[in-house]
Amino acid sequence: MTDTSSIIEVTLTRLLNAPRELVFKAFINREMIMQWWGPHGFTNPDCEMDVRVNGKWKINMHAPQLGFPNSWCHGNYLEIDAPHKLVFTSRAFVDENDTAGLEGLNTIILEEVNGKTKLILHAKLTKLLPELSRAADGMEQGWSESLEKLNTLLSNS
Query: What's the rounded Cα separation, in Å, for the pair 142 and 92?
Result: 13
Nearest to 6 by CA among 93, 124, 89, 120: 124
| Domains present along the chain, CATH in parentheses | 4-40+81-155 (3.30.530.20)
Tens digit of each residue's pLDDT (9 = 90 or more) over 27-80: 999 999 999 999 999 999 999 999 999 999 999 988 888 777 778 899 999 999
Angle at the Cα of 135 from the Cα atoms of 121 and 37, rounded to 5 degrees = 50
Give the range among 6-10, 18-22, 36-40, 146-150 with minimum mean pLDDT.
6-10
Tens digit of each residue's pLDDT (9 = 90 or more) over 84-121: 999 999 999 887 888 888 999 999 999 999 999 999 99
Using CB atoms within 10 Å of the CB of residue 64, give its burial: 0 to 12 exposed, 13 to 18 middle, 19+ buried: exposed
Query: What's the rounded Cα separation, in Å, for the pair 133 and 150?
Result: 26
Query: What's the rounded Cα separation, in Å, for the pair 24 and 22?
Result: 5
Q: What is the rounded end-to-end Cα distance, in angstroms, of the chain?
A: 44
Residues ≥6 apart with Cβ < 8 Å to 140: 10, 12
CB 116 within 8 A of CB 17: yes
Chain-centre distance of CA 113, in angstroms? 23
pTM: 0.91
